[in-house]
Amino acid sequence: AEDFENLRAKIEEGDFLPLVNMHRKEIRAADIYAADTARIGMFYDQAGKRLRSANKASTEGMACLYAYMMTGEKKYLDRALSIVDELCSWPTWNPSHFLDAAKASLPCTVAYDWLYDVLSDEQKERILDNLKEKLIIPSQQPEHQYMLNKFNNWNQTCNGALIAASIVLYDREPEFSQEVIRKAIERNIPAFKPMSAPDGVYPEGPMYMFAGMSWQVLIFSVLESAYGTDFGLSDAAGFDKAGMYRLFSHGNTEDLFNFSDNNTKARYHSTDHSFPLMWYLADRFGDSSILYKESQYLSQWVADPNEKLPGDLYPMCILHASRYDGGEILPPSRKVFSGKGPQPLVMARTGWEKDDLYLGAKGGNPTLDHAHMDVGSFVFDAYGYRWASDMGHADYAHYEKRLSSTRDLWDKREHSPRWKLYMYNNRYHNTLTINDQDHAVTGYAPLIEVYEQPDMMGGTFDLNNAFKGNTMRALRTLVIRDGKYLEVTDDILTSEEAGCDVRWNMATPAAVAVVHDGLLLTQGDVTMKLTAEGADVQWYAAPADASKDGYAEWDLAPEGFNMCGYTCRMEKNDRFVITCKLERHE
């Protein structure tokens, strides 16, 4: 209650516009949800695997709960209680896809806490019974254990939901609840450490970071609220750098660095901004610069009927933002962010305005969760457009329904059906393909050097392990050169046994024309030219089209993309150092 009193007072003062606008966004969403009195119903995705209605119920329920706590208006209370009542009437929360159970539990857990003085004893018992029977008990069943022990966003979401639900169950069943909380913390500790160590890089990428880290902050918050401590969980190495990683993940076009399964726009929330983690970290570590994109967007926000509404954890953004007491929020002075660990990467920019240049490049390997065969891949923004982009991914259920097993999409072993999909293998990422072979699944590509000088910003990756012995050396250096253009240099030495055919790829939303000395890429009134020095190459360009490249007829390629680049031949024990430049063409 005290938190809400303080929040209301801050919003009424109106001094911090981002906070005021966050509140307005959530109230606008709650108005829409409260006006709809229909039951949500239970519905699954096309593969019959994911209970999509759980996310809908969680999002709508949380918005109405927040609106009631802030305004006291009965329409919000009635809608929130109807959603909680419906969730309790569902026969299952689908623990076979445990993220659904976690989502379904959230409005029930929060309703018990926030509405404690409003709920009848019967309503309280019904909520507790459902949390125990549809979330907590299934979590203890052997067939669901692997989902709670994953080292990815599943761990944070599933264990976060269990901790929160067990805290509200604690009054009724203290010993049982305490054991559930203890085990959830024990599962979370080893998983969370590699998600931030050593440099704050979230291995699954910025889109999945939003899902996982939002629930991780929920874990910290509910433990601190209930116990006065998070038991040292948030002291993980690199966690203090996670906010800067996320900030740098935004390109100058506002598109994310969309490597692997990440899309250019994060699907887990309404915009690319308003992330609980950022406000939590700014408050904890006193670095307001990581809020630059958040405050920039929220200060300019106006209600747009076409904008997607906030997600279920949006009230956490508001709560943590209410604790910000700093002054003007300025962008960080640094221009390069780099991180090592399981997903090494480097991101560089000439500035923070739309027309500035931005580069994101990565190493890693395909065995990570949500990873593709994309080591050495990169994105590049310049003059208001994204020129080099990853393709992201299509809805998982599309593939799961059509592959021989729903598990095939997640099989990361060598020669798995996953690597036969158009958007998953290396041939259609912004990297090198040698002898038309897949990258080695376990071929880890480290970041070996970082450049932070004004005339050279980026890094060098060692890709040699990806090429299955076809090369003796394969170094890729990607930099913004002189603040004006992208430069990609590949230093390759073939094996002593055989030569190799090299294919240099770049996916782009630009129109592409092949000219005698390179490629011309055009978007709007801007044309860029891609050239190469160091070898004789054959340039190519063609629309991204799975149906014309020998893939399954149901396979997908994103609309509006072209594949372009070059091919060349290297003999055995041959070395070339070839430098590509992508610069503005007048």
How confident is the model over 439-457, as pLDDT tens digits?
A: 999 999 999 999 999 999 9
Residue 21 host element (H or E): helix 17-34
Share of the chain above pLDDT 90, in %: 91
CA angle 259, 263, 268 (to 5 degrees): 125
CA angle 131, 136, 141 (to 5 degrees): 145
| pLDDT digit string, tens, across residues 349-367 | 999 999 999 999 999 999 9
Q: What are phi and psi of 382, to 5 degrees?
A: -160, 140
- How many whole angstroms separate alpha carbon 561 and alpha carbon 543? 6
Is the confidence at residue 26, as pLDDT, over 80?
Answer: yes
Query: How many residues make up the chain in this entry?
Result: 586
Q: Read off the pLDDT band of 326 (50, 70, 90).
A: confident
pLDDT of residue 419: 96
CA angle 280, 56, 371 (to 5 degrees): 65
Query: What amino acid is encoded at 208 in this protein?
Result: Y
Is the confidence at residue 267, as pLDDT, over 50?
Answer: no
Share of the chain above pLDDT 70, in %: 99
pLDDT, average across residues 145-160: 96
What six digits make up the tokens of 5?
């009193």
Q: Tell me if residue 304 falls in helix, strand or coil.
A: coil
Is the confidence at residue 269, as pLDDT, over 50?
Answer: no
Q: What are phi and psi of 248, to 5 degrees?
A: -70, -15
- How many whole angstroms separate alpha carbon 564 and alpha carbon 475? 21
For residue 88, the number of C-alpha atoms closer than 13 Å in the C-beta half-sphere is 22
Is the confidence at residue 430, as pLDDT, over 50?
Answer: yes
Q: Read off the pLDDT band of 274 (50, 70, 90).
A: confident
- How many whole angstroms separate alpha carbon 202 and alpha carbon 339? 10
Average model confidence (pLDDT) across the chain: 95
DSSP structure class, residue 534: S
Q: Read off the pLDDT band of 270 (50, 70, 90).
A: very low
Q: Read off the pLDDT band of 151 (50, 70, 90).
A: very high
Is the confidence at residue 574, as pLDDT, over 80?
Answer: yes
What six digits make up the tokens of 312?
């279920």
Q: What is the C-alpha end-to-end distance of the chain, expressed in Å?
A: 61
Is the confidence at residue 128, as pLDDT, over 90?
Answer: yes
- Could you tell me the pTM of the whole model? 0.95
What six digits make up the tokens of 6?
């303080």
Higher per-residue pLDDT: 73 or 254: 73
| pLDDT digit string, tens, across residues 334-348 | 999 999 999 999 999
| pLDDT digit string, tens, across residues 485-519 | 999 999 999 998 999 999 999 999 999 999 999 99
Q: Read off the pLDDT band of 266 (50, 70, 90).
A: low
- How many whole angstroms separate alpha carbon 29 and alpha carbon 33? 6
pLDDT of residue 272: 45
pLDDT of residue 304: 83
- How many whole angstroms separate alpha carbon 538 and alpha carbon 57? 54
pLDDT of residue 406: 87
| pLDDT digit string, tens, across residues 194-221 | 899 999 999 999 999 999 999 999 999 9
pLDDT, average across residues 167-188: 97
Measured from the Cβ of residue 469, the count of other Cβ atoms closer than 10 Å reads: 12
CB distance 527 to 511 below 8 Å: no
pLDDT, average across residues 303-320: 89
